Each structure stands twice: as C-alpha cells, then as structure tokens.
Homo-oligomer: A and B are copies of this chain.
Amino acid sequence: MARSIWLRQERAGRGPVPEHSRAEITAAAVALADEGGLAAVSMRKVAAAVGTGAASLYRYVENRDELVELMADAVVGEVDLDRPPAVDWLADLVELAHAMRAVYRRHPWMLDVVPGRGLGPNAIDVMERALGAMSGLDVPAATKMETFALLNATILLLVRAEGAVPDPTGEYARGHLEFLASVAAAGRHPHLAAALADPTPPPDPGQDLLDRVLPRVLTGLLDTNGRTG
C-alpha cells in the first residue's frame, strides 16, 4: 500500500513536467460529483473532463478511493474560517458548525463518503479552528478531539435528516412514512405510536435545528467538565 497521499510528493522532479495537477483533477471530480453524485465520479469521466486518459489518472492518485479522499478534503477547504472569534467557546463552535454545514449542503455527495482515512490538510485547518475555540477550556486534549468529532457527526446527521440528499421522486420517503405508520398501527410499538401521535411541537419550532441540538451536545460534552481557565 502506498503512503498516505498527504505524505507523498506530487511531482517527482525528473521526467516530463506533468500536464495536470492533483488540484485540477480533484476539482474536475468535485464538479462531476456536484452534478451527478458520488457514483457519477468514474476515473474515465474525470479523465475526460480533465482532457487526459483514464490511465493517466493513476499517475496522480493511487486509486479511486484516494481521489475521493482528495475531493472530500478539497471541499472541506471551502469552510469559511475567516471570522473573528465569537463571544464564547460555545458560540464560536456553533458558528463554525454553521460554516461547515453550509459546505455539506453545497456538496450533498459528501454524505456518501465513507469516513475513515484520517484528515487531510484542510480538515486539519478546520480542526485547528475548533481547537482554538476550545483553547480556554480546562479539559484534556482528548476530550477536545472527541468534541470536534462529535460536532462533525452531528452536522452530518442533521444534514442527512433534512434530506439534503434529495429523493428525485419523493416516492421512497412517502413509502417509508407509510411503513412507519403501519408499524405503529400494528400495535407492537406503543412508544413509536405515541411519538408519531405526539402533538407537541418541537421546542422553538422556528429555531434552526443545528442551533437547538448542537449546543446541547457540546455543553453535555464540555460544560460539566469545562472550566474557562
């Protein structure tokens, strides 16, 4: 297995000057994903978009998974980090979360990227910003890292839940609600039935879900241990 893409030189230094760059190939792939979803990103299509041969792509990336890794990090690079710190750590993290969510919403295919290969340079920049927001808290570094991970997971969950991956026909979603209702009606799930029948609106229905849920997650993680110091 090759070394991490982030550790490898892009250019060897000998031989002809490459006609393209990782950034160029990544951008073409991102454009394809934005248009047709992650599955639309094939090596042949990316190569055609760049104006090269599919086999040439393997000079730039090890495999398709690596290309997807480049794409994900490139997109995270769109997160707007040029903001002055907010009034406190919580507000700062929530603002960062909004900036991150904006990016995921612009690139819904990101929800289809299986996490797992570590962080690229842009993701590390975002994490640095989050760590900076938490720098005044007297909690272990491990807790801060966990908090960042959960912040990201929460955003993904909420973007996913709001249907940022659109169902073209809406039929499946309706079918699912139909299924839930039939399960509830069958009588073996009284709590589900109660939940579906609950007329109570969510607290602050006009409030952004991210603004409601994320602060609770974060204060749960940090506040009981968090000491501004």
Contacts and interface: CB of A to CB of B under 8 A. Distances in A.
B160 A115 contact: yes
Nearest to A3: B175
A208 interface: no
Contact of A219 (B146, B150, B175, B220): B220
B225 A217 contact: no
Contact of A153 (B127, B145, B153, B182): B153
Interface range on chain A: under 10, 10 to 19, 20 to 34, or 35 or more?
35 or more
Given A6-B179, A140-B200, A221 B213 contact: yes
A45 to B, nearest CB: 20
A145 B192 CA distance: 10
Contact of A7 (B3, B119, B179, B191): B179
Interface of A: 1, 3-4, 6-7, 111-112, 114-119, 121, 124-125, 127-128, 131-132, 135, 140-146, 149-150, 153-154, 156-157, 160-161, 165, 169, 171-173, 175-176, 178-180, 182-183, 188-189, 191-192, 194-196, 198, 200-203, 213, 216-221, 223-225
